[in-house]
Structure 1
Amino acid sequence: MRTVVLIPARYSSSRYPGKPLVKLLGKPMILWVAELACRAVSKSDVFVATDDDRIADAVTSAGFGVVMTSNTCLTGTDRLAEAAQEIDADIFINVQGDEPLASADDILKIAKYKMQHMNVVVNGFSYVDKNEDPASVNIPKVVTTEDNKLVYMSRAALPAHKDEKCAPKRFKKQVCIYAFTKSELNRFYNFGRKSELEASEDIEILRFLELGSDIHMIETQSGSLAVDTPEDVAKVETAMRDKGYTESWLQ
C-alpha cells in the first residue's frame, strides 16, 4: 500500500497570517515539517496542500511536491480531501504544518496502525505537560475510553470532575498527526459544512464523530509544540535548539 504525507498550509491564518513561511532557526516552518516527513516516507510521497503561490514557491524551490487547492476550504482536512483527489494512494497521513517538533517515528507508528485498521480514523495524542495549562483553549483535550477510542475532544479541561479526589491524574491532548483513506476524506468533505460541535469547539475531527466514524487515538511522544501565535515562535525555537536542530539538521 502506498502511504503519502499531506501537509495542509494556508497563508491567511486569522491568528497568524503567513504562518507557514515564518522563519524558525533561519528556515520557513513549512520546510521543517516537510523535511521531517521525509524521515517517515520518501520525498516523492510528501506533498504540501495549499492555495497560496508564496507557499507553493517556497516548497517547490526545496524540491517538494505541491497540490494546489481552492481558497474556500473550511478546514485543513477539507483541504486534504481536495488534494487527495490528485494523488493515487491508499493511506493519507495529515501532518500539521505548524508542528516542526513532531516525530517521524510517530508518523510511522500511526501509519502502521492504520494499515492494520483500515476501517477506522487514526489520530495521535500525548499527555499535557506539567508546564502546560489544561484550561488553555489552544490545547484540544482528548476524552477516550480506556482502550483509547475517542469519545470527545474539547478545548475545555475535560474530563471534568465533581469531587476533587476524582480529578483526572493527567489530561490527554491531541497531537495533530492523522491517518485517513480517500473514502474517509471524501465523506468528511461531502458533509458540506462544519458540524455544530466542530464549529463550536473549532476542532475538525469532531465532524467524523458526526459521521459515525470510529476514531482510535494512538499515544505519541511528548514534547511536540505548535506555533499558533507569534508569541510561540521563541519557545518553539528554544525547544528546537534543545533537541539539536540546525538549519541543515533534517537534510
Structure 2
Amino acid sequence: MSKPFKVIAMIPARYEASRFPGKLMQDLAGKPVIVRTYEAARSTQLFDEVYVVTDSKIIFSEIEKHGGQAIMSQKEHECGSDRIAEAVQDMNVDIVINVQGDEPFINKKALSQLLNVFETDKEKHIDLASLKVKLTTEQDIINPNHVKVITDLNNFALYFSRSAIPFHRAKEFDVDYFKHVGIYAFRKEALMAFYNLPMSPLEAAEKIECIRYLENGKTIKMVETQEVSIGIDTPEDLEKARLRFS
C-alpha cells in the first residue's frame, strides 16, 4: 500500500489487567498472546514500523526474543494513549495507530478503513479516526463495558459514554446504537497535545480517554465497520481464541 505519510502501529501492553491478570503472556498456539498480536500487526503490511510499548520487563523480553521491536515505558501511565505518546514523542512519524495488545486476530480491512480517512483528508481537518460497530441487542446496548458513541451527520464524534446513548424517549423515531471499537489512528500532533493535557472530570468519571480529545476541541472521525477483531478479556475468550487457532 502506497502511503503519502509515515504510519506506525503502537501496541500498548500492560502485564496487569483487572479482569484477566497476565493475559498478554498466556499461551496461544505456542506463543504468548502479545507476540501473536505483534506478528498479526506486522503481517498486515500496512505499517512502516510496529512496536510494543510496555511497562513490563517480561513482555519487553518476550517481544525481543521473538525478533520484535519493544519500547520500555519510562513513566507510569493511566491510559494507552499516554503510554504511546511518551514512546513516539521523538519519532519522525505522521500517523500512529493504537493496536490493542489483546487482539491477535487483527482485521486488516478495518485498519485500512482508518488509514483511508487520512489519505482523503488533504486539509488535515481530522485529528483522530476510530471505529464503530452497530449494536443490535438490548443487552449489548445497556452493557457499561460497551462504550457507546454518537456522531453528527458527518460522522464526527459528539460524545462517548458507558450509558445507553441516545436516550430513546420518542419511540416513534428509530435510533441506532453504536459501540466504539477501541482502535485509534492519531495524527502525531494530536496525540502529543493529548499527552500534555490534564485528565478531564468527564474522562475520569466515564473512564473513556477519548473524551479528553473532545473536551479540548479535537475532531474524531468515526468509521462504521462490520470488520471487528476478537479481543481476549477473559479466560473464556482465550479458550475461544485457542480453538480458532487450532
Classify the TM-score, shorter chain: 0.7 to 0.9
Whole-angstrom CA distance in 2 between matches of 1:27 and 1:186:
33
Q: Sort the Cα spacing of 1:43 and 1:123 in 2 relative to 1 into closer, same or farther, 3 A.
A: closer
CA-based RMSD of the aligned residues comes to 2.2
Q: Secondary structure at the match of 2:149?
A: strand
The residue type paired with residue 13 of structure 1 is A
Q: Sort the Cα spacing of 1:87 and 1:58 in 2 relative to 1 into closer, same or farther, 3 A.
A: same
Q: Sort the Cα spacing of 1:151 and 1:234 in 2 relative to 1 into closer, same or farther, 3 A.
A: same
- Residue 198 (str. 1) matches residue 203 (str. 2): yes
Whole-angstrom CA distance in 1 between matches of 2:170 and 2:160:
22
Equivalent position of 1:189 in the other structure: 195
Using the TM superposition, give the Cα deviation of residue 19 of structure 1 relative to its aligned residue in structure 2, in angstroms: 2.3
Q: Sort the Cα spacing of 1:30 and 1:141 in 2 relative to 1 into closer, same or farther, 3 A.
A: same
| Percent identity for Structure 1 against Structure 2 | 37
Whole-angstrom CA distance in 2 between matches of 1:173 and 1:20:
24
Whole-angstrom CA distance in 2 between matches of 1:184 and 1:209:
11
TM-score, normalising length: structure 1: 0.86
Equivalent position of 2:141 in the other structure: 134
Q: Secondary structure at the match of 2:172?
A: helix
Whole-angstrom CA distance in 2 between matches of 1:62 and 1:126:
33
Using the TM superposition, give the Cα deviation of residue 218 of structure 1 relative to its aligned residue in structure 2, in angstroms: 1.1
Quick one: which of 97, 105, 120 aligns to 1:116? 120
* Structure 2 stretches lacking a partner, 5+ long: none
The residue type paired with residue 31 of structure 1 is V
Contact 1:125 1:219 in 2 (8 A): yes
Using the TM superposition, give the Cα deviation of residue 166 of structure 1 relative to its aligned residue in structure 2, in angstroms: 3.1
Equivalent position of 1:218 in the other structure: 223
TM-score, normalising length: structure 2: 0.88
Equivalent position of 1:149 in the other structure: 156
Using the TM superposition, give the Cα deviation of residue 223 of structure 1 relative to its aligned residue in structure 2, in angstroms: 4.1
Q: Sort the Cα spacing of 1:60 and 1:119 in 2 relative to 1 into closer, same or farther, 3 A.
A: farther
**Segment of structure 1 superposing worse, 128-137 or 148-157:** 128-137
Q: Sort the Cα spacing of 1:92 and 1:162 in 2 relative to 1 into closer, same or farther, 3 A.
A: same
The residue type paired with residue 159 of structure 2 is Y
Whole-angstrom CA distance in 1 between matches of 2:53 and 2:160:
25
Q: Deviations over 1:124-163 (max 9, x none)?
A: 1112255962111111111112321101111111111113
Whole-angstrom CA distance in 2 between matches of 1:236 and 1:219:
25
Equivalent position of 1:17 in the other structure: 21
Contact 1:4 1:41 in 2 (8 A): no
Equivalent position of 1:103 in the other structure: 107
Equivalent position of 1:60 in the other structure: 64
Q: Secondary structure at the match of 1:156?
A: coil
**Segment of structure 1 superposing worse, 97-106 or 226-235:** 226-235
* Structure 1 stretches lacking a partner, 5+ long: 247-251
Equivalent position of 1:50 in the other structure: 54
Contact 2:8 2:47 in 1 (8 A): no
